[in-house]
Amino acid sequence: DAKTTQPPSMDCAEGRAANLPCNHSTISGNEYVYWYRQIHSQGPQYIIHGLKNNETNEMASLIITEDRKSSTLILPHATLRDTAVYYCIFNKFYFGSGTKLNVKP
Amino acid sequence: DAGITQSPRYKITETGRQVTLMCHQTWSHSYMFWYRQDLGHGLRLIYYSAAADITDKGEVPDGYVVSRSKTENFPLTLESATRSQTSVYFCASSESRGGVGRLSYNEQFFGPGTRLTVL
């Protein structure tokens, strides 16, 4: 089963860190975790990926648990423009429903 | 222009008509994908292609046909449109890149979408 589990929605105050969890308990050892986001009705945008080590880029940080069954995407200083639906996937083809992140002033 | 484009951006058609949605990418990526996104829901994979002349079914392929005669183009055809195919259609492309050890990863680049309404 290639499905992930994410909370349907989360709120975050502007300027605070947004921590988005994802459960991917059926991931295999050779599959990457990918995060994408979709702002309004635009095409999804790649954010970050990781295998087993924590990763950081200019957009976000990715924390993967040691057993690789879950991960957390961290937006260190959320802005209003980060309001979007965030998707966590490990099978590169299958997106779930994602988490709607609402960043509030 | 470089990137991935879709045409048309908006399309209204009637039940039973044939409709073709176009997708073009300029990166020469090996992989291309078609997804549909129904109102308020996530993306579901319709078909994908690993290279020219190689295509495979995704989650929801029924009612759709694809072809890939050239690397840069991946058209999606609804042979006889139905109201249930009203949706936003996204095309994407990617290329396998070297990752940890021998494992590769794929970062997908998405087009702007085509909003299709079937009356």
| Predicted pLDDT of residue B9 | 96
Answer whether residue B102 shows pLDDT above 70.
no
Across A64-78, A91-105, B4-18, B67-81, least confident range: A91-105
Measured from the Cβ of residue B55, the count of other Cβ atoms closer than 10 Å reads: 18
> For residue B11, what are its two tokens?
């399309």
Say what the alpha-carbon torsion angle A27, A11, A38, B108 is, to the nearest 10 degrees: -30
Q: Give the closest-approach CA distance of B101 to chain A in angstroms.
A: 10
Q: Give the closest-approach CA distance of B79 to chain A in angstroms.
A: 24
| Predicted pLDDT of residue B14 | 97
| Predicted pLDDT of residue A41 | 84
Interface of B with A (CB under 8 A): 33, 35, 41-45, 48, 58-59, 88, 90, 92, 94, 99-100, 103, 105-113
| Predicted pLDDT of residue B84 | 96
Q: Give the closest-approach CA distance of A9 to chain B in angstroms.
A: 13
Answer whether residue B90 shows pLDDT above 70.
yes
Which of the four pLDDT bands, split at 50, 70 and 90, describes residue B49?
very high
| Pairwise CA distance, residues B107 & B4, whole Å | 14
| Predicted pLDDT of residue B114 | 97
Contact B42 A45 (CB under 8 A): no
Which of the four pLDDT bands, split at 50, 70 and 90, describes residue B1?
low
DSSP state letters, A25-94: TT--TT--EEEEEE-TTSPPEEEEEESSS-EE-SS-EEEE-TTSSEEEEEETT--GGG-EEEEEESSTT-
A47, A93 in Cβ contact below 8 A? no
Spans in chain A with pLDDT lower than 70: 1-2, 92
Which of the four pLDDT bands, split at 50, 70 and 90, describes residue B77?
very high
| Predicted pLDDT of residue A53 | 84
Contacts of B56 (CB under 8 A, 6+ apart): B47, B48, B49, B50
> Residue B28 — φ and ψ, nearest 5°?
60, 30
Average of per-residue pLDDT across B94-105: 67
